[in-house]
Amino acid sequence: MGLDIHTLIADWSWLAEVPPRERLPRLRDAWYDDGTGLWDHDAPGTDGGWEWPRGPHGARFGVYEFPGTLGSFKPHFWAGEGWEKTREHVDPAVRAEVDALLGGLTWDGPDFDDDEESEDRAFFADDSVLVACAPERVRELLATWERVRPRLDEVRAPFDEYAALPEGWIPDADAFVRLLAAWGEVLAEAARRGWGIAGLSG
């Protein structure tokens, strides 16, 4: 059984009304509330995209499911692994931008320090948060995405040469680019609302 990720965008100011250790429970309680309609077993399922809650928390958060991932963290992990094998074979400017984008989301990166907790992750004070981006960080990463998006074609050939795994979660450059584009969608919607991002395990 693998690790799952549930990606939510949320109103950081609403979460900041309570102490750090209460923020994730507050978000989870709102998400699990029956009034949201998100847990209606008779409702049609979704294979990707946004789900927006109904009820009193409707203006507090949204949930994004990455298409084709079944909620698994594995595609995000393997995207990072693929990038590790590819990054030395792309233009340094593109490398720096993809490093910054993935490093701000789900990839530990070459300079990862296991003992150093980011300020955004400390916002929740909870180890089950896989991704945490405050609104300011969301805007920075969205700007990074907008800069690198027009140059992703430069990544395709080296990715397919050095990192393609036909039987894997990220079998080729197309899958890698699709995953980045999905993160771009999450960043854009969070930035539009002035919200942050919380990627939760389990």
107 close to 79: Cβ distance less than 8 angstroms: yes
Model confidence at 172: pLDDT above 90 = yes
> Residue 142 and residue 134: Cα distance in Å, rounded?
12
Position 109 scores a pLDDT of 77
Query: Does pTM top 0.85 for this prediction?
Result: yes
Model confidence pLDDT, tens digit, residues 55-104: 988 899 999 999 999 899 999 999 999 999 999 999 999 999 999 999 99
Average pLDDT value over all residues in the chain? 91
What is the CA angle 140-141-144, rounded to 5?
A: 95
- The amino acid sitting at 56 is P
Residue 68, both tokens: 């084709």
User: To the nearest whole percent, how much of the chain has pLDDT over 70?
Assistant: 92
Burial class for 92, CB neighbours closer than 10 Å (0-12, 13-18, 19+) = exposed
Coil/strand/helix, residue 67: coil
What is the per-residue pLDDT across 21-68, written as a single tens digit (0 to 9) for each? Answer: 999 999 999 999 999 989 876 555 566 899 999 998 889 999 999 999
- Using an 8 Å Cβ cutoff, are 199 and 129 in contact? yes
Determine the pLDDT at residue 115: 45
